[in-house]
A and B are shown apart, each in its own frame.
Chain A
């Protein structure tokens, strides 16, 4: 057998004797005969490790990874550099083969690292409390809206059109069951329209969700939007890119009540879209309304510091149908990667990464828009992504770039029909000036 079963026939026999039966089959007699499978499942034959490695290698080579091309694609999944240290440490099997830390005394490694994660997220966001993680940025947004509506007792959710389109889709899916009404605020010039927001606001709005930097890469005027939102006593939810927070003001410092986001960029690979890791932070007064696991500091019987899962009276295993969320497993190992990443970069390093993204994206934008036929679509200040338009269809542009070993920008028409022709480019710290110049050169050659 190819499996991982250690028993030999003699042992099986001894065990059956101890149970007092003759065959393993007798253990399955509770399964009614009419549904008991008689033949084998129709699955491909078992593979040896050598065959598996060959097969998986073949499959993986049918993909073209960003490692083989120059990647200028972002849109919620970012090709930031992952320091080697991160991969080595998250591969320690004491971390990855553990379950959720229910037995605190033998889970201090997981618990303390989550406590550190929570602390770092609080530092970045300017919030008081953070949880152990959410599935991803999209579900973190949805859970934030649910919490905000519970806190305010209101049912209307306003979300900027400049929030990631897939996050808005997930928000709508989650909102349906709870009968929350989701409405969108226009972002005609690439920024959430304060005028539109003002017009749509009301005393029945539970929360307003703004992404900053937004899906188009533009840095929103966080404080002004917050002022409008708070005038109606709604909660201000900011979905932030944690890398940007090395440089940008913490959302808590411009009025955010809940800060969520996607932390994939902090030490996690692209992985074709997952596993990623959402973060969720808020103010202390909402601590007991939060979804998800939370780790707290305490002491043991001898007074030594230790960490435990805490404020569990919010959670499904205690509160059942009255829980703040049904979330149980989250993305702990990805959160650990983020924690190690932030430890490596540190106070100055994160700022440097953010600034490299900012400067390189600006350089790429300026050089590209100098080209004949390449136009900027928006004028707002941006962080690491920007939108341009060429005379050619984005599909054609990308096909051409691919021939030259470049993965180009996202075709915005896919999510925003009115922006058809627009392309969202992303430049991280992992792209060199040479890479950017090459992109510009190729774009220039495309007539």
Chain B
């Protein structure tokens, strides 16, 4: 069951466009544009009717699996339910129809929303100010590390170019360090999955720009030594960056700002329930402590009292040491609206409950599954946990096969082969919006697959059997790339 490409449905002369006829005097195009700049042949776009378009993309949507389809425990991605009401709120014409350059007094509602969202994020993360400009988590990391670098440079410490990153970190962390012109120093994790303090002590020095740390980390574990970790880095003159991808575990329980982090990014599209859109748009606001506020990208939204005593929200472009702009305009405003609505719906208690249940769900699945698969770090986890399928290796079944077989059971698998420090890793993040019944069915499926691996491994290695396409050939795709029609 595949679908033709939209271009393959083309019929010359067919069109889905319903455009007005020109109501102004029409001039010869050649007289309005420079010679040699007019296109001779129209681009080869599809020629299809509106019905063709609707059926084609409806059909494509049916080949997809989303949170609305079923359980999606993709580790580190926090695929929780995306509340429908938030989609409606973001679609209000008073939000969607705003031009970014229209006068501020015509956008007071939008600016108020941004101002308040920033305050809420400060409260949740324990930071003093946030920039809402970054469009995604990795974009937030880039912004945050630019801030750290600018801080050192401003103090004349230009030799601070090393960024320390644990071996369990997301790939975006080292890639970010490179993009800000820093060098990555990888340190090992200790036997409990946390930062190896001795290794950290050895790594820090006068060349340390900072440490990038995810806490809870990508093993789903809260680093018990976090205060000491931050102290070691600070004493060496470095700053500590928190990759807040896993904030869903600790809302209302602990705050990166209180742990000692100087900079944090949050993923509104993970923690705050905004949908991921099949790969974006996200939003990755970056929060900092007071001493780093001058370095934030501008503009920030400020609230002032105008002479009549009325509250007014303004875009403040002043920032002496600002790293500059990281995105045009003000960030992914439409995503901010959804996150704002989410926070207002849940309130402090609701956010805390979300984290509590996310952690309860993860621990429940971990305890049930640790007898069937290997659990490399057997301790209380946070919102996710990492299993290893190493114990099935002798059957010839690997983690990739298990993931594909899960598709046959109607589930999206967890994140696989990550973090890199766990062999045959399966990282499972159930999130708080899943019921016990769903969790149980997933546990059962994983148990059955282990059994199948022992009894009929071909069933697993040949999976998936029920999806729109069977296992796809990645190798040929990369060796002989076909990237367009």
Contact = CB atoms under 8 A, between A and B. Distances in A.
Interface stretch (A167-175, A196-204, A229-237, A371-379): A167-175
14 contacts: A15-B360, A56-B89, A60-B93, A66-B98, A75-B101, A83-B16, A97-B68, A103-B412, A174-B179, A176-B181, A273-B331, A300-B473, A311-B481, A345-B45
A96 B82 contact: yes
Interface in A359-388: 359-360, 362-363, 381, 383
Interface residues of A, number: 209
A46 B24 contact: no
Given A43-B343, A139-B327, A273-B329, A298 B175 contact: no
Given A274-B330, A300-B472, A173 B60 contact: no
B34 A381 contact: yes
Interface string A92-132: 11111111111111111110111110111011100011101
B438 to A, nearest CB: 9
Contacts of A339: 6
B181 A179 contact: yes
A331 B253 contact: no
Contacts of A170: 324-328
Given A11-B435, A29-B380, 12 more contacts: A28-B222, A65-B97, A79-B99, A97-B68, A119-B7, A120-B43, A138-B325, A139-B135, A296-B477, A296-B482, A347-B42, A348-B42
The SS class assigned to the B binding surface is loop
A323 interface: yes
Contacts of A312: 478
A97 B223 CA distance: 31
Contact of B329 (A106, A129, A133, A166): A166
Contacts of B68: 93-94, 97
Contacts of B3: 108, 112
Contacts of B82: 93, 96-97
Nearest to B180: A177
B484 A398 contact: no
A368 to B, nearest CB: 13
A256 interface: no
Interface string B38-64: 111011111110100110111011111
A246 B434 CA distance: 47
Contact of A274 (B27, B135, B146, B404): B135
A245 B53 CA distance: 21
Interface in B116-166: 120, 123-124, 135-139, 141-142, 146, 149
Interface in B80-107: 80-83, 85, 87-89, 92-103, 106-107
B15 interface: yes
A66 B478 CA distance: 45
Nearest to A328: B138
A118 B484 contact: yes
Interface string A133-144: 101111100000
Interface in A320-352: 320-323, 325-334, 336, 339-340, 342-352
A387 B3 CA distance: 47
B426 to A, nearest CB: 13
Interface stretch (B198-206, B285-293, B463-471): B463-471
Nearest to A271: B334
Nearest to A349: B17
A35 interface: yes
Interface in B341-374: 341, 343-354, 356-357, 359-361, 363-364, 367-368
A176 B146 contact: yes
B123 A41 contact: yes
B137 A328 contact: yes
B347 A45 contact: yes
A275 B45 contact: no
B259 A35 contact: yes
B347 A169 contact: no
Contact of A83 (B18, B101, B137, B462): B18
Interface string B221-245: 1101011000000000000000000
Given A66-B97, A356-B20, A105 B107 contact: no
Interface string A38-75: 00111111110100110111111111111110010101
Given A30-B224, A31-B222, A99-B74, A15 B327 contact: no
Contacts of B184: 320-321
A137 B253 contact: no
Contacts of B33: 219, 247-248, 358, 381, 383
Q: Which 3 A-B pairs have the closest CB atoms?
A: A273-B329, A60-B94, A65-B97
Nearest to A30: B222
Contacts of A5: 353-354, 357, 432-433
Interface string B11-32: 0001111111011111101001
Contacts of B146: 173, 176-177
A36 interface: yes
A136 B221 CA distance: 35
B396 interface: no
B48 A274 contact: no
A63 B60 contact: no
A19 interface: yes
B178 interface: yes
Contacts of A6: 433-435
Contact of A136 (B46, B328, B481): B328
A309 B385 CA distance: 26
Given A4-B433, A343-B45, A353-B19, A94 B66 contact: yes
B66 A46 contact: no
A66 B445 CA distance: 51
A359 B473 contact: no
A325 B171 CA distance: 11
B59 to A, nearest CB: 8
A333 B277 contact: yes
A404 interface: no
Given A272-B100, A275-B335, A95 B48 contact: no
B64 A106 contact: yes
A100 B476 CA distance: 21
A222 interface: yes
A271 B42 contact: no
Contacts of A381: 32-34
Q: Which of A104, A128, A313, A346 has the most CB of B within 10 A?
A: A346
Contacts of B359: 24, 27-28
A275 B36 contact: no
A326 B17 contact: no
Interface in B229-274: 250-255, 258-259, 269, 273
A247 B32 CA distance: 11
Contacts of A46: 344-347, 349-350
Nearest to A344: B16
A208 interface: no
A120 B94 contact: no
Contacts of B350: 1-3, 46
Contacts of B179: 146, 174, 177-178, 325-326
Contacts of A293: 279
B87 A221 contact: no
B472 A306 contact: yes
A413 interface: no
B436 interface: yes
B279 A44 contact: no
A105 B469 contact: yes
Interface string B382-407: 10000000000000000000011001
Given A119-B7, A123-B45, A270-B96, A110 B279 contact: yes
